[in-house]
Structure 1
Amino acid sequence: MDATAGKTKSAAADTSEIKKAPIMISLIIGAFIAILNETLLNVAYTDLMAQLQVSAATVQWLSTGFMLVVGILVPVSALLIQWFTTRQMFLGAMALFTAGTLLSGLAPNFPVLLAGRIIQASGTGLLLPVLMNTILVLFPPEKRGGAMGMMGLVIMFAPAIGPTLSGIIVESLNWRWLFFLILPFALFSIIFGMIYLRNVSDITKPKVDIISIVLSTIGFGGLVFGFSNAGEGESGWTDPGVYLTIAAGFAALGIFVWRQLRLKEPMLDMRAFKSPMFSLTTVLLIIMMMTMFSTMIILPLYLQGGLALTAFVAGLALLPGGLLNGAMSPIAGRLFDRYGPRALVIPGTALLVVTMWFFTNVTTDTATWQFVVYHSMLMLGISLVMMPGQTNGLNQLPRKYYPHGTAILNTLQQVAGAIGVALFIGIMTAAETGYLQSAVNPESASAQQEALTSGVQGAFTVGLIFAIIAFILSLFMKRTTAPIEID
């Protein structure tokens, strides 16, 4: 199954003659639709909990499960990208996503809806690395900032506006249309890709190591499953099913990393971490994804449950931040090309610290416009960190590590998002429960609102700690101008 050097070179596309625009448009359309679904259900959770008769800890699996599957499949994509063409990967991923979307829209109950989301996630997990790897191949390091900024418009803007679109659709129609309205765009993406997409990847057909695939699945799956279950039931973190599952996940990942370092053709080459800026970027992006995805679930829940806003109004409250994030991503990319990462990442993490501190002080008396401002500040800070940091880290890798570097970042981002959602929801739920146990009249509306407020403040306090860590790390960021060779 090994490919010779000659085959590798012949399989690599001559990117100098390739028209980049049609390829980028094909990938961006597909990725936008796929990534939008990571947060499209957020504002609909209140309705879904009532209609499908599930708890908040259960309904969050529609997001956690989605990101978990994406996180499990992305490491495998580092292998698949070297086995299949860009065109084959894209069309296969979008076909899976479209099938999952249709099943979700027709779902008669929660288990079927969750199954549809998992199929959707399978397509998304295969698609994300294709997009990033293609940018690395098509554009030289000095032009990647702008290109990665366009990708940021997709990765950041799509999930940011998901809650807004969700609120509008749920208020006007019902939750099933969150999927039905996506179907035509998914089909258009497939047709557009069939016409314009060309292969740009290097087909080397490395050896498939089944043990590595199993270990990565158990590792990432164990971590997210354990963190998610911590938010359910009365035992929480003391439940053996929680801490044993998390321990098993860490153990499997430890063996996975050890195996990758010993294999001649690793599924996910950990030697990429010999690049210091790549390692620093990885930690920063983990914190960013945990913060962003958990906030985009907690805020709609609080705006509806604490402030008694409708789904439509809650969605609109999050729209300015989503628009600002989308507008800033390509701008931040161009600024990165000119000024480097420090001028963006340090202010971005500082803004994140300030914003999370504001969120720790929200109450039912906090005005809706304040939530709009806080959320906009959060999205601005994240946009200044995500793409510039990611581009800087990947720029330090040589071409042969592109599939591995992109897969590592995408894997850890998605799993971090899943863990962040589970962790923050778990903290929020535990604080709510603790408040209600000491309340004089726990069934009253005021007690329920105060309990939710206590939970939200507790979750954002943990978020503030993460933000401070991110700021400290940003001070060590340095610009990378050329790849380094890794033994």
Structure 2
Amino acid sequence: MDGNTTEEQYEFLADDPDFSVKPVMFSLIIGAFFAILNETLLNIALTSLMEVFEINAPTVQWMVTGFMLIMGILIPVSAFLLQTFTTRQMFIGTMSIFTIGTVLCAVAPTFSFLLAGRLIQAVGTGLLIPIIFNTFLLIFPPERRGSVMGLVGLVIMFAPAIGPTLSGIIVEYLGWRFLFITVIPFAVFSILFGYKYLRNVGEVTKPKIDLLSLLLSTVGFGGVVLGFSFAGEGEAGFLELQVISFIIAGVLSLVIFTLRQLKLDDPLLDVRVFKYPMYSIALVMFIIVMMSMFSSEIILPMFMQGPLALTAATAGLILLPGALLNGLMSPVMGKLFDKFGPRRLIIPAAFVLTVTMFSLSQVGTNTPIYIIVITYMFLMLSVSAIMMPAQTNGLNQLPKRLYPHGTAIMNTLQPVSGAIGVSVFISILTSREESFLQNAENPASESAMTQATVAGVELVYFVAFAVALLGFVLSLFVKRAHPSDVSEASS
């Protein structure tokens, strides 16, 4: 299919009077909001869960890392599933799985039971995100996708960004179980609404699945996430044999997986998407942004509830202005992307992100609260100006046949990069705390422990500053992927 035919089909789906776009968008967005919200809803509640179930930090971290691990394993299969089942079947199925997991979490008597429910939630969430991207790519032409993806950004970024704030308030006044109880009615409503109004888009081709590719993908992404996660648990960190073994096994599996995909007629994930430069740049910047956002939503609450001795609710409220700004600006950034293209948004935003990471590396116990509020607002503003514009621009360069694969790869790397970012930064934080206390005169004193945490946070954000600096350099190479690029790539 050539580029012109592709463009005509976009226009047909978006402008056909018999095709109602709003119910499709509303069905997907409301379900995705509450599903993706769960990615960070437990961040501030982790401290409470440690006390309730009498577990340590590395153990409770699996509520976050395990969630992302399951998503990272399942999303690669989404390209196959999107071509095997209809839009309605995929949406209703994934939301039903998510709802079952949420109910199990709400009634969990033990931490193991709670973690199991959390992992079931991840199954639904991981498969839901690619449905959204693939559906909107099929409905709207490239010149209108910025505004549409801005609305998606309202979900993808605003939901996890506001999670810590909601978590702090709910845990403080209602208890941790209500983190799940309050989500259940919305999830059920989303299923019922989707069942009645959601229409199918795309083509069901029922491709054959390569089981070896599925195995290699699972071992690859799972091994990498597990390796980085275990790095925060052992005393030797990344030098632990278990850590090294998982990471090496994961990387080797991904290398073999990639080589195999190039030989298959129906690859599980078509890695040829990396031939398109704007997609590749967008993917790296996407990873950097996700690492910055997810790690900040873990590290900052720890800093505020630790050295600053703030309550969970207060810590959540401090992050609220940034979360609101992020959500409100996502649709605006989408419209600006349609009008001005990616460079005028991404380059300044990448610079702001770099400066913000450096500013956070200078925080301490004497840092005024308003400085943290303002800095976090700049962080989330830069995230909204980078992630969706870069992601949309990268996907615009792909031919239609690669849409399921492009969205699957990008969305696979979202939880994987988030899990790696959280694990690496917590490992850095922990290692710096331990080295500081080893040289302290009275390591058991409250003052020494506070200073150790501050030193750890400073090092974490200095590393994050270096990563953000790489993102700024990459932003200089971004150019707009015009619809003509799609035609050339397809021919």
TM-score tier (shorter)? over 0.9
How does 1:232-311 map onto structure 2 within 5 Å?
Answer: 232-311=233-312
Q: Is the 8 A contact 1:321 1:376 kept in 2?
A: yes
- Provide TM-score, normalisation by structure 1: 0.96
How does 1:112-261 map onto structure 2 within 5 Å?
Answer: 112-261=113-262
Q: Counterpart amino acid of 2:489?
A: E
Q: Is the 8 A contact 1:72 1:221 kept in 2?
A: yes
Q: 2:65 — aligned with what?
A: 64
**Residue 485 of structure 1: how far off its partner (Å):** 2.1
How far apart, in 1, do the equivalents of 2:53 and 2:221 lie?
28
Q: 1:383 — aligned with what?
A: 384
How does 1:304-453 map onto structure 2 within 5 Å?
Answer: 304-453=305-454
Secondary structure of the equivalent of 1:263? Answer: coil
**Residue 233 of structure 1: how far off its partner (Å):** 2.1
Identical residues among aligned pairs (%): 57
How far apart, in 2, do the equivalents of 1:77 and 1:285 lie?
19
How far apart, in 2, do the equivalents of 1:99 and 1:197 lie?
21
Q: Does 1:485 align with 2:489?
A: yes
How far apart, in 2, do the equivalents of 1:269 and 1:486 lie?
15
Secondary structure of the equivalent of 2:478? Answer: coil
Q: Counterpart amino acid of 2:373?
A: V
Q: Is the 8 A contact 1:342 1:474 kept in 2?
A: yes
**Residue 214 of structure 1: how far off its partner (Å):** 0.8
Output one character per residue of 1:132-179: Cα deviation in whole Å (capped at 9) or x when no partner.
001100100100000000000000000000000000001101111100
How far apart, in 1, do the equivalents of 2:134 and 2:438 lie?
51
Q: Is the 8 A contact 1:351 1:381 kept in 2?
A: yes
How far apart, in 1, do the equivalents of 2:453 and 2:113 lie?
29
How far apart, in 1, do the equivalents of 2:436 and 2:490 lie?
53
Q: Is the 8 A contact 1:271 1:486 kept in 2?
A: no
Q: Counterpart amino acid of 2:358?
A: W
Q: 1:4 — aligned with what?
A: none
How far apart, in 2, do the equivalents of 1:113 and 1:432 lie?
29
**Residue 441 of structure 1: how far off its partner (Å):** 1.5
Q: Structure 1 residues 13, 52: closer, same or farther in 2, change over 3 A?
A: farther
How far apart, in 2, do the equivalents of 1:449 and 1:437 lie?
14
**Residue 486 of structure 1: how far off its partner (Å):** 5.1
Q: Is the 8 A contact 2:11 2:141 kept in 1?
A: no
Structure 1 runs (4+) deviating above 3 angstroms are none
- Would you say how many aligned residue pairs link Structure 1 and Structure 2? 477
Q: Is the 8 A contact 2:11 2:140 kept in 1?
A: no
Q: Counterpart amino acid of 1:74?
A: I
How far apart, in 1, do the equivalents of 2:443 and 2:191 lie?
52
How far apart, in 2, do the equivalents of 1:60 and 1:349 lie?
29
Q: Is the 8 A contact 1:57 1:425 kept in 2?
A: no
How far apart, in 2, do the equivalents of 1:205 and 1:61 lie?
35
How far apart, in 2, do the equivalents of 1:443 and 1:24 lie?
55
Q: Counterpart amino acid of 2:184?
A: L
Q: Is the 8 A contact 1:274 1:486 kept in 2?
A: no
Q: Counterpart amino acid of 2:247?
A: I
Secondary structure of the equivalent of 1:307? Answer: coil
Q: Counterpart amino acid of 1:40?
A: L
How far apart, in 2, do the equivalents of 1:186 and 1:35 lie?
12
Q: Structure 1 residues 64, 13: closer, same or farther in 2, change over 3 A?
A: farther
Secondary structure of the equivalent of 2:51? Answer: helix
Secondary structure of the equivalent of 2:44? Answer: helix
How far apart, in 2, do the equivalents of 1:14 and 1:97 lie?
33
Q: Counterpart amino acid of 1:51?
A: V
Q: Counterpart amino acid of 1:485?
A: A
**Residue 13 of structure 1: how far off its partner (Å):** 12
How far apart, in 1, do the equivalents of 2:413 and 2:234 lie?
27
Q: Structure 1 residues 13, 69: closer, same or farther in 2, change over 3 A?
A: farther
Output one character per residue of 1:347-399: Cα deviation in whole Å (capped at 9) or x when no partner.
11100011001110101111111111111110000100001000100000111
Output one character per residue of 1:301-321: Cα deviation in whole Å (capped at 9) or x when no partner.
110011000001000000000
Output one character per residue of 1:303-349: Cα deviation in whole Å (capped at 9) or x when no partner.
00110000010000000000000011000000000000000000111
Q: Counterpart amino acid of 2:174?
A: L
Q: Is the 8 A contact 2:279 2:393 kept in 1?
A: yes
Secondary structure of the equivalent of 1:397? Answer: coil
**Residue 442 of structure 1: how far off its partner (Å):** 1.5
Q: Is the 8 A contact 1:13 1:201 kept in 2?
A: no
Structure 2: state its 5+ residue gaps.
1-9
Structure 1: state its 5+ residue gaps.
1-11
Q: 2:5 — aligned with what?
A: none
**Residue 68 of structure 1: how far off its partner (Å):** 1.4
Output one character per residue of 1:30-73: Cα deviation in whole Å (capped at 9) or x when no partner.
00000000000111111111111222222121111111111111
How far apart, in 2, do the equivalents of 1:321 and 1:481 lie?
32
Output one character per residue of 1:161-210: Cα deviation in whole Å (capped at 9) or x when no partner.
00000000011011111001110110011011011101002111111111
Q: Counterpart amino acid of 1:102?
A: V
How far apart, in 2, do the equivalents of 1:238 and 1:352 lie?
31
Q: Counterpart amino acid of 2:178?
A: W
Output one character per residue of 1:214-273: Cα deviation in whole Å (capped at 9) or x when no partner.
111100111010001111121211111011110110000001100111001001101111
Q: 1:7 — aligned with what?
A: none
Q: CA RMSD in A?
A: 1.4
Q: Counterpart amino acid of 1:192?
A: F
Q: Counterpart amino acid of 2:290?
A: M
How far apart, in 1, do the equivalents of 2:276 and 2:81 lie?
24
